[in-house]
Structure 1
Amino acid sequence: MPRDQYDAIILGAGAAGLLCAAIAGQRGRRILLVDHADEVGKKILISGGGRCNFTNLHTAPDRYLSANPHFAKSALSRYTAADFIALVDSHRIAWHEKTLGQLFCDGSAKQIVALLLDECARGQVDLALGQSVTDIAHVTDYRVTIGARTVTAPSLVLATGGPSIPKLGATGFAYDVARRFGLKIVEPRPALVPLTLAGDDLLFRDLAGVATPVVARAGKASFHEAALFTHRGLSGPAILQASSYWRHGDAVGIDFLPAATPDWLLALKRTQPRTTLRRALAATIPDRLAEALSDRLAIGELAATTDRRLTDAARTLADWRFHPNGSEGYAKAEVTVGGISTADLSSQTMAARRVPGLYAIGEAVDVTGWLGGYNFQWAWASGWAAAQDV
């Protein structure tokens, strides 16, 4: 095969692109992996606080958002969390489960990047790093211009992700290429992102640094994890999860007392009539938050408050409505909701239905996982699926 002729060119050396290149290379394909960054796996390196939350034991299709909720089933069933764990184990990388099925390296995220590079080396994958793609043409093969060099291949894989975390070089490049070839794009928006508050909710920004376990609800989704008040609004795992389902103009509901029964305040009034709402709340949630909520509800001593007001207060505390005026955007978003439409792709191979030899994998596709390793598992699974076909 001529030096500049490959079986497949993969654009994007993140999680999906690296695994796809490695697996395809080990299948005997001649692969070129291209990235405009000068090093691979930049998102991997910062993930999980530098320890890479590389998968989740509870991976299932219902933990993913997509215009087609069934699309991810095939890839996720054929390359599972157990498959990637076996690969991690084969490289003697120690790991641990943190919470809710989230798996992290004991050491560093650098170990996952090293694993992927080792697997690429086994597959004799060629790397072209620190080089931008300036042109892509398709006649019989794909002709990709990288700087002064032009390479060709019958298959082209889009693995450049979405626009989240632009400081790492993330762009909407995959969407631009997909549009050129007639693929539809589901409107992208930031996901797993802190939400900002304004108006009547501004006073809660004074609670910056306060965190508490809650149930956060957006749309039909709910998450029982911690929420964190920030100087701009709301964050923490529960809020990041809910943000993927939140739409501008919608409210986010917060249950500040997930373990409480609907009549807990009435019961407390009978047993401790002289206690105050603030004191009652402070037994479960941080004092600063207890003060803010009780002041907002304007309830002091329980004995001086009617049963109806206490019932209403308990109901409000179980579904406190915040009205975010936005999010902190792609700069703080861990991933992107939306992307290349799954209607234009094969769920078996990730190949474009109407464009021969074109594939899309990972975050570039309209499949977005929950917080906690789900997006890495989609990267591995979709990358593996495409690697079987290129």
Structure 2
Amino acid sequence: MSILYDEGQHAIATESRRALEGRVSKDDLLPLLQTSGRYHENFWTTAKEQGWTALALPEAFGGLALGLVELGLIAHQAGRSLSGAPFLTSSFGAAKAIELYGNDTQKARWLPGLASGETIGAVAFAAGPDPLPARPGVALKAGKLGGRAVGVSGGLFADVAVVFADEGGTSVLAIADLAGVARDAIDSFDNSRCIADLTFADTPAETLVTGEAARTAALHILALQAVVTAHEQTGGAEALMETARDYALTRKAFGQPIGAFQSIKHRIAELYGLVELARANAIHAAAREEQDDFIIAAAAARLSATEAYDTAARDCVQIHGGIGVTWEIGLHLHIRRSRTLALEQGSSFFWEDVLVDRLAGGAA
């Protein structure tokens, strides 16, 4: 694929940006930070109405049969607007796990609801420094799950979860209906992510993949989500770069715009470079979805987007000076989101290890 979008993809980007800018505002998001167990309902309603939940799923189950490139465009705009719900990514990850590794019965049960957005999915192993440990904290025995999945993004409202578990010393990827599963809401840095610990107690589950193939499948699902998240991070970094630029052109010191000072203009130029590198890596990774080098591309996208968003969040606040740390201006929303997204789908250390292992020929 070309690094450039075609006319139809540009239309998706334009319309999604218009829809989100009209329905998501800073004033909607600020109260969510102080309340655990709530998300921005206008965003999720918009996602369902616009068909974004169905974008990358098969037509046979109510999807639009597009791909990761188009979903990435939506995620980019969601990052720009600081969308106040994580379900676009988490439901996509759960749906792809079922689509790629589930049987016909499992697909028929779950995919139509996930495509419409009426069912919310979660991937219950995408958090923490090592999302794929040798011995997971959840065990599967006789078709039932036991144990605790910690820090599950969207877990507070999810209806179904894909779980990476241990079955007698063997890795297994399973799917579980979350009805009746105990959830402990986590009062987090960004409460709109609806993060929760899930406690499984003889919870019925169905196996998707077992053995070494389960670990490979789990990494693939993480990589798919990482590419969506990379687009979201790039969108947030782009919005911050533009905010810093606009402020530097209007704020004056010593009789001239602060953007005239080298320390400011160089910093904004560096942000531009980071954003464009992250954008290129995210587009490339999305286009390599079914290719042999997809995991490498996804790791590169994840790492560059995390650096771009973290740097943009920090530098934008510094360029604004004292007003940058006030509640009302809302730049802290991006700081909170950048730090939260940096931990979802595995940390940078995890993806660095994945990248090195793949490049060295020791892929796990």
Pick the structure with more helix per residue.
2
Pick the structure with more strand per residue.
1
Interval containing the TM-score (normalised by the shorter chain): under 0.3
Q: Report the TM-score, using the length of structure 2 for normalisation.
A: 0.23
Name the larger-Rg structure. 1
